[in-house]
Amino acid sequence: MLFQLFLKLAQNTSVIVTIAYLLSKTKVFRNAMRRRSNWQEKLLLTMVFSGIAIMGTYTGVSIKGALANSRVIGAVVGSLLGGPLVGIGAGIVAGLHRYSIGGFTAFACGVATVAEAILASVLARRLDPKTLSWEKGLGIGIAAETLQMLIILALARPFGAAWDLVEDIGLPMIILNSIGIAIFVVIARSSMEEEEKAGALQAQKALQIANVTLPILRHGLNAASAQRAAEIIYEKAQVEAVALTDREKILAHVGSGFNHHLPGLPLMTRATQEVIRSGEFKLAMSKDEIGCTHRDCSLHSAVIVPLRCRDEVVGSLKLYRARENGIGSVDIELAQGLAGLFSTQLELAALEEQAKLVSKAELKALQAQINPHFLFNALNTIVSFCRTDADKARRLLIQLGEFFRKNIQRSDKFVTLREELEHIRAYLSIEQARFGDSLKVVEEIDPGAEERLVPALTLQPLVENAIKHGIYPKLEGGTVHIRCWVDHDLLRVTIEDDGVGIPGEKLDTGGLPKPGSTTGAGVGLNNVNERLKYLYGSDSRLRIDSVNGQGTTVRIQIPATTGRSYD
């Protein structure tokens, strides 16, 4: 009889162990092991472990009016791995179920099931799931089953029948159920260790890829850097295809589908467009979910993650598989890890570029102090007034000195609008003296705007550009109109001229001079635009309207805050 009881309980334990193995592969179970479960997951785990405990009751062996069973495994393991709420909840459900079956030990077994869950919960609170070993699981199982036998002796009546029952079932249940709990713990620990090992390998792979690709992305996200980065990822990640995009077009595509996912083409998949729009990663497990416009595309699943720079989505990274549902957790973690590293590198690249722009601006300002053409023209103008209007010559010398002094003092990162306008007026006084009535300047400055902070060397280059490349080429001269006002906590500035305008072929799609264009002066429109975008985001970039032969209007808006620091 004893051997048959051992055999039956061993069979029950093997079934529960199989369930344990399957359960260990679920995300809910892994979250529970890390104590990250939400209330919905805890409720689900309570139901699962209640089911395991109830199954242990139903598969029990009927003996002397009672049941030798494996119910304890569900309640105790629920407490050890799921936490007190899960374990005690499962113990209550399974205990009530056992009580409803009846028998002279029904009440005692029902109470014992709850008590075992409570005991395991108390002991589990002293243990980190990561340190839970099979030895500890075995010890807790022995303690829990011993407690059950004591409760049966204390509550079941008649006592003689309870004693006879415990003599028969005590040793088999204590040994086999404790072993079952230990095996359950071993499976759970193995599952965590496998995942941690896989995560470590994936992190190592991501770092290896990043070690090679990050220097490439130091120059920003462009077609050349994207192509080289995609080739490296494709080689090391062992996926069917890798792609990198910006917000509007494909920058690089390596692997399957390269014949139609061509660099330079607009974004071809709905999934990528959704990621760019939402800023959230997307998992596409079928060809339809990817949404490629090419009918014969061989890519059937993908993970797409956004690339960010200064809290803005600037592009995406995509890993593809050739079969449906082919993207696994390893691919997702790799893509997200790489995207995070790439985004950081793009941020660093932007900071480096900003530092270059600031240095370039300061260099240009310094060059303006000693530019032989500017200085020669200014001095010639002043000399011409020395004989005819000495007072005006003196005032112009003061203005020239003021202009140089303010250039020298450009170490301040932000200045008030009043200071920036004084710098502009010093510059204008020299230019108006040179060209007389052919250059007119009109200012409309809201008094409430004068104390607002603006980046140094922001407006003066725009005024200089309007005069040198808008008004001067026009034989009859013209007018520069400067407007500054506050609107809904934004400082708005427009600099408008009625000069020759900018030919459309010299402007890109954003209205800025194309790279290499000679259009621009001072630190240049592009330089000013990049500085504004860095400090305040894309909402503050230059807005340029120009009609060839009629003039140009430049608009900017600056928030009340000082934006980002230069440092």
What does the pLDDT look like over 472-489, one tens digit per residue? 888 888 999 999 999 888
Give Cβ neighbours of residue 370 (< 8 Å, ≥ 6 apart): none
490 with 461, same domain: the answer is: yes
In a domain, 551, yes or no: yes
pLDDT of 412 above 60: no
**What's the total number of domains in the chain?**
3
159 with 30, same domain: the answer is: yes
325 with 453, same domain: the answer is: no
Are the C-beta atoms of 533 and 508 separated by less than 8 Å? no
Domain closes at, from 167, 196, 225? 196
Q: Which residue has the tokens 């490439």?
A: 216
221 with 165, same domain: the answer is: no
Q: Are strands 241-246 and 312-321 parallel, antiparallel or unpaired?
A: antiparallel
What 529-533 contacts at long range (C-beta under 8 Å, 24+ apart), as own/partner pairs, is 530/353, 530/354, 530/357, 531/354, 531/357, 531/358, 531/361, 531/455, 531/458, 532/455, 532/458, 532/556, 532/558
Q: What are phi and psi of 312, to 5 degrees?
A: -120, 140
What are 128-147's pLDDT values in tens digits? 666 778 888 889 989 999 99
pLDDT of 492 above 90: yes
CA atoms within 13 A on the CB side of 418: 6
Are the C-beta atoms of 161 and 169 separated by less than 8 Å? no
pLDDT of 377 above 80: no
Return the closest-CA partner of residue 335 out of 308, 301, 303, 299: 303
325 with 448, same domain: the answer is: no
pLDDT in the model for residue 407: 61
Residue 316's pLDDT band, with cuts at 50, 70 and 90, is very high
Average pLDDT over residues 368-396: 69
How far apart CA 136 and CA 143 sit, in angstroms, is 11
Domain closes at, from 329, 346, 363? 346
Q: Which two tokens stand for residue 164?
A: 């006879």
pLDDT in the model for residue 405: 64
Edge-first strand order for the sheet with 282-284 is 250-255, 241-246, 312-321, 301-309, 282-284
In a domain, 205, yes or no: no
Give Cβ neighbours of residue 433 (< 8 Å, ≥ 6 apart): 381, 382, 385, 392, 396
pLDDT in the model for residue 89: 93
Average pLDDT over residues 338-358: 78
How far apart CA 293 and CA 270 sit, in angstroms, is 9
Residue 526's pLDDT band, with cuts at 50, 70 and 90, is confident
In a domain, 221, yes or no: yes
pLDDT of 502 above 90: no
pLDDT in the model for residue 511: 63
pLDDT in the model for residue 217: 79
In a domain, 534, yes or no: yes
Residue 361's pLDDT band, with cuts at 50, 70 and 90, is low
423 with 534, same domain: the answer is: yes
CATH number at residue 260: 3.30.450.40
In a domain, 204, yes or no: no
Instruction: Return the bridge partners of 249, or none.
Output: 266
How far apart CA 313 and CA 317 sit, in angstroms, is 11
69 with 133, same domain: the answer is: yes
pLDDT in the model for residue 523: 46
Residue 74's pLDDT band, with cuts at 50, 70 and 90, is confident
pLDDT in the model for residue 2: 58
Q: pTM, whole model, 2 decimals?
A: 0.46
304 with 402, same domain: the answer is: no
pLDDT in the model for residue 283: 92
Are the C-beta atoms of 298 and 257 separated by less than 8 Å? yes
Rg value, the chain, Cα: 38
Residue 335's pLDDT band, with cuts at 50, 70 and 90, is confident
pLDDT in the model for residue 376: 66
CATH number at residue 181: 1.10.1760.20
CATH number at residue 551: 3.30.565.10
Better-predicted residue by pLDDT, 478 or 363: 478
pLDDT in the model for residue 358: 67
pLDDT in the model for residue 40: 85
Neighbours of 362 (CB within 10 A): 16
pLDDT in the model for residue 503: 79
pLDDT in the model for residue 1: 54
In a domain, 408, yes or no: yes
Express as a percent the part of the chain with pLDDT over 90: 27
19 with 157, same domain: the answer is: yes
Are the C-beta atoms of 188 and 208 separated by less than 8 Å? no
pLDDT of 567 above 50: no
99 with 223, same domain: the answer is: no
pLDDT of 17 above 90: no
pLDDT in the model for residue 493: 94
In a domain, 544, yes or no: yes
The DSSP symbol for 540 reads G
Average pLDDT over residues 553-559: 90
331 with 440, same domain: the answer is: no
Q: What value does the mean pLDDT of the chain take?
A: 82
Better-predicted residue by pLDDT, 16 or 240: 240
Residue 410's pLDDT band, with cuts at 50, 70 and 90, is low
How far apart CA 140 and CA 424 sit, in angstroms, is 81
In a domain, 361, yes or no: no
404 with 552, same domain: the answer is: yes
Lowest mean pLDDT among 298-302, 462-466, 537-541: 537-541
Domain with 324, as residue range(s), is: 216-346
What are 86-121's pLDDT values in tens digits? 889 999 999 999 999 988 999 999 999 999 999 998
Give the CA dihedral 280, 285, 289, 293, nearest 10 degrees.
110
pLDDT in the model for residue 521: 42
What are 194-211's pLDDT values in tens digits? 766 766 666 677 777 777
pLDDT of 309 above 50: yes
Domain closes at, from 346, 363, 387? 346
